[in-house]
Amino acid sequence: MTKRLLYSVLLIRAVALALRSTPELNGFWLNDAFKPAESIHIGVAISLRQGGLVNPAIHDVDKKNLDELMESMLDLVNRARTGHLRGSELADGTITVTNLGEQGVESVFGVIYPPQVALVGFGKIVERPVAYHGMVGVRPMIDATLSADHRVSDGHRGGRFLLAIERLLQEPEKL
């Protein structure tokens, strides 16, 4: 049973699972060609206490359960902020996830971290009015944005990828 779970971990896990159906967003643009990644190593944007930002990767995110992913995330943040990251963690990210929701930001339009070909940005959770089955109610919502290299993918595939993330987040038991 999970003792503590940051919602960022749910977002990262949803991105990893959605990549299974959109593998062209998981890889690198190298030597004028796309090189798909064999594994899903998600780069996580981490702000440092002394200022600045690093983007180390959590390896094999799609193969970790939520407890393992939470442990990996806490360990990565701690080591990033104490200067003890491994070189592979800084070089192996196959896609980046950034979450500025804790900073109060509602929408994120991120810049791709080369040679990666995609970045997913998440804003803060806000309550919004929505219509559902003919009824209007208030639901917690989060904006998810995708920055993608059009040499590798297109808006249609990017839209399918964001839809896959949405569906996973609406059914957290699948994470």
List, for residues 51-72, the tens digit of each pLDDT value: 888 999 999 999 999 999 999 9
What is the per-residue pLDDT for 2?
A: 45
Please state the separation of Cα 56 from the chain's center in Å. 12
Within a domain: residue 160? yes
Averaged confidence pLDDT in the chain: 93
Write the pLDDT tens digit of every residue in 132-171.
899 999 999 999 999 999 999 999 999 999 999 999 999 9
Nearest to 158 by CA among 41, 12, 43, 25: 25
Residue numbers annotated as active site: 150
- Strand ranges (DSSP E) for the chain? 27-30, 33-36, 42-44, 46-47, 53-54, 57-58, 95-99, 118-122, 126-132, 135-141, 144-148
Q: How far apart are CA 96 and CA 57, in angstroms?
A: 8
Within a domain: residue 2? no
The angle at the Cα of 55, spanning 1 to 121, to the nearest 5 degrees, equals 75
Instruction: Count Cβ atoms below 10 Å from residue 122 Cβ, excluding itself.
Output: 26
Work out how many domains the chain is built from and give that number: 1
CATH number reported for the structural domain that contains residue 169 in this entry: 3.30.559.10
Contact predicate 81/48, CB 8 Å:
yes
Task: Examine residue 172 and say whether the peptide bond preceding it is cis (omega within 30 degrees of 0).
Answer: no
Q: How far apart are CA 40 and CA 128, in angstroms?
A: 32
pTM above 0.75, yes or no: yes
Write the pLDDT tens digit of every residue in 83-119.
899 988 898 899 999 998 888 899 999 999 999 999 9
Range of the domain at 13: 7-174
